[in-house]
Amino acid sequence: MCLIVRADSEKHSFTQEVIKINNKRTPEQLQQELDQTKHLKKYYENEIKIRKAQLSHLNRRERTHRLCSHGGMLEKFIERPDMLSDEQIMQLLSFAFHKNDVQALLRQMIKDAEEKSYGQSL
């Protein structure tokens, strides 16, 4: 005996059937089953590609939102941000974040965030 799982691409469902191994099928029947299986394989490979693209899009959109949000927060603390170049902003941030107390606070914030996310994943 052998368990066969068949997928129906139109209904997006699976059916199971048990067949006897010694069940004689014609070469035409076997070829038809092979063609159907190849079609289903191609269909589900395409579904995987679609889901990966959707996930990539969501991750990209989430990152873009975070960058805009953080940039907006930064601009609240800088007088006339439109007058400063990228290099000047980088110089200002480097100066601000190289202070020991700022580094200690940043490490603590990261540690707290990691503990919170670890606790939620359990």
Distance CA 15, CA 26 (A): 22
Using DSSP, state whether 99 is helix, strand or coil: coil
Q: 3: which strand partners?
A: 18
* pTM for the full predicted model: 0.52
**Among the listed residues 53, 32, 34, 52, the one whose alpha carbon sits nearest the alpha carbon of residue 42:** 34
Distance CA 35, CA 46 (A): 17
Position 63, amino acid? R
Burial class (CB in 10 A: 0-12, 13-18, 19+), 73: exposed
Residue 65 confidence (pLDDT) above 90: yes
Residue 60 confidence (pLDDT) above 60: yes
Position 51, amino acid? R
Q: What is the pLDDT confidence band of residue 24, given thresholds at 50, 70 and 90? A: confident
Q: Give the residue, 19 or 99, on which the prediction is more confident.
A: 99
pLDDT in tens, 68-111: 999 999 999 999 999 999 999 999 999 998 999 999 999 999 99
Residue 55 confidence (pLDDT) above 60: yes
Q: Give the residue, 92 or 22, on which the prediction is more confident.
A: 92
